[in-house]
A and B are shown apart, each in its own frame.
Chain A
Amino acid sequence: MPQTVPDTELAFKMEQSVRARRRLERLYEVLTTPGHTGTGASEYTVVHQDNKLRLLRLLDNNGHPRTGPPVLFVSAPVSRYFVLDLLPGRSFVGGVAEAGFDVYLIDFGEPDQADRFADLDYYVNGLLARCVRRIEDLTDDPAPSVVGYCLGGTLALLYTALHPVCVSRLVLLTTTIDGDVKGGIPWTAHCLGLPGESYDNPRLVPATDIKSWFEMLAPGSNSLLGRTSDLWNRLDEPVERLRDIRTMATWVDDVVPASGRLLAELYREFGPGTNGMIKGTAHVGGQPLNLSAVTMPVLSISAAKDTIAPPDGVDALIRVVPHAEIVRLPGGHVGIVAGRTAKALWDRTIEFLRSPVVDTPISSGP
């Protein structure tokens, strides 16, 4: 006589089966709808090109440049620029432009083998300085506001310290200042005793290596098993939410190679132990860095759950730029800029950019 499966067991098995099937149906639906295109959401025109860099100027609904005060956004050179311009209605730069500003956005592009020799001086006194010069040509404003995100914030701060008369306001978003604070890629690499990049004999650091560094920050959840398990569980969520996750993945998982010399110099000047930003020992292009030259209004925003730029290391700006306004928002490194709760950061930034600049004497840089 054949053995029959008890009803309760069959019911349980079927419940599991239906649940798994529905997850795969949702996954199919997400995978077969067009994903993010890997470009920005806003209309723009390229107003300047320099090696791989493109300086994008956002256009209004009629395809014309805006005439408000200029604001330059500096993205991180190790990731794609479009996190700042993710989707229509979910674009940080788009929101700032809608608020009446003439918005410029740097796309550093993807470096090639020869660019592995690019150093901090090239990025700060070269690429960034020429973007500001171009904005002045276009607007007759010699000092735009500058907004830097993550490593882009580091470049923006260095540029501001070296050329203080060329920046009217500075906004730093999740930008690490204190390299000795626990957490983040340089600190973790330091603790693991990783050899680091060579300044004298640099390589073009492959995207896979950079990706692995981010995964190193949370070895469990960022491992292959952790990621797969996380996605599998998230497939219970509505398709619209999964499309959001997919959009974010198109940025998070699409890192770019980086200049080994740049990374070596950043680590040497600002990494754990050296911590040149706090200790005042850093140099860029042979010039000593003088953060006391940063006298214009400064806003720094950290994310409470940031594992890439730990908030304590970001908020440490107050120790070297005492007049800076320090804000900590709930969320993670990417979420506060481009997630569902990013509006808090956008609104705070716009409010800051609109605030009047109080004339303060600018001490001359070294």
Chain B
Amino acid sequence: MPEQDTDPQQSDVPLTEQWQKEQQHWQRLLLTYADSAAQDENFLIHVGNAMRGSLLAGKPYPGTVSEQPAKIDATMTSDEVVFAVRRLEGQVIALTAAIGALTRRFPPAPSDGPVTTP
């Protein structure tokens, strides 16, 4: 952060002197920005976001970085199959949970011993 020294708007100092001091403040401020931009890539991203009116931290404002064009299967077959598998996975999770709940609610009766066939 630039040095926060005396306020250049001091009534007892001639205006021209105040103006010169103010110019020095500006130079220091711009150097500080330039230094931070050179040292920290994130700072550049944050300045870029601010120039778009956003204080979003940690990533560029949506639309400012060219996104990789999404690979879309022309027939949609493979993506559709992948999602169908995901849907099935979810149903298996639900089924497993249901069986688990039933097992806890109705534990298997203790058996007397191994069942043997005559």
Residues of A within 8 A of B (CB): 7, 10-11, 13-15, 17-18, 21, 24-25, 27-32, 34-38, 50-51, 113-118, 122, 126-127, 129-130, 133-134, 136-137, 201, 203-204, 206-208, 211-212, 224, 226-231, 242, 245-246, 249-250, 253-255
Contacts and interface: CB of A to CB of B under 8 A. Distances in A.
Nearest to B23: A17
B1 A25 contact: yes
A133 B15 contact: no
A278 B40 CA distance: 53
B53 to A, nearest CB: 3
A7 B86 CA distance: 74
Contact of B52 (A15, A25, A130, A224): A224
Interface residues of B, number: 55
Interface of chain B: mostly helix, strand, loop or mixed: helix
Nearest to A114: B82
A230 B47 CA distance: 15
Contacts of A246: 55-57
B67 interface: yes
B19 to A, nearest CB: 6
B22 A122 contact: no
Given A14-B8, A21-B22, A130-B97, A255 B15 contact: no
B57 to A, nearest CB: 2
A230 B97 CA distance: 51
Contact of B83 (A115, A201, A211): A115
B80 to A, nearest CB: 6
Nearest to A256: B62
Contact of B90 (A127, A137, A230): A127
A29 B1 CA distance: 7
Given A17-B26, A227-B52, A114 B62 contact: no
Going nearest first, the 9 A-B pairs with the smallest beta carbon separation are A35-B57, A227-B53, A246-B55, A114-B82, A228-B53, A208-B63, A253-B56, A117-B83, A249-B55
A27 B54 CA distance: 11
Interface core residue of B49, B54, B67, B79 (most chain A CB under 10 Å): B54
A114 B47 contact: no
Interface string B21-41: 010011001001100100000
Contact of B19 (A10, A207, A211): A10
Contacts of A201: 76
Given A35-B55, A133-B97, A231-B55, A28 B33 contact: yes
A11 B16 CA distance: 9
A19 B63 CA distance: 31
Given A15-B9, A127-B90, A130-B93, A224 B19 contact: no
A122 B9 CA distance: 64
Nearest to B21: A14
A129 B91 CA distance: 10
B94 A133 contact: yes
Given A14-B18, A37-B58, A231-B54, 20 more contacts: A14-B9, A25-B4, A25-B29, A28-B2, A30-B55, A32-B43, A35-B58, A36-B58, A116-B83, A117-B80, A122-B90, A126-B91, A130-B93, A134-B97, A137-B100, A208-B67, A224-B53, A245-B55, A249-B55, A254-B59
Contacts of A245: 55
A113 B26 contact: no
A116 B79 contact: yes
Given A28-B33, A31-B46, A18 B59 contact: no
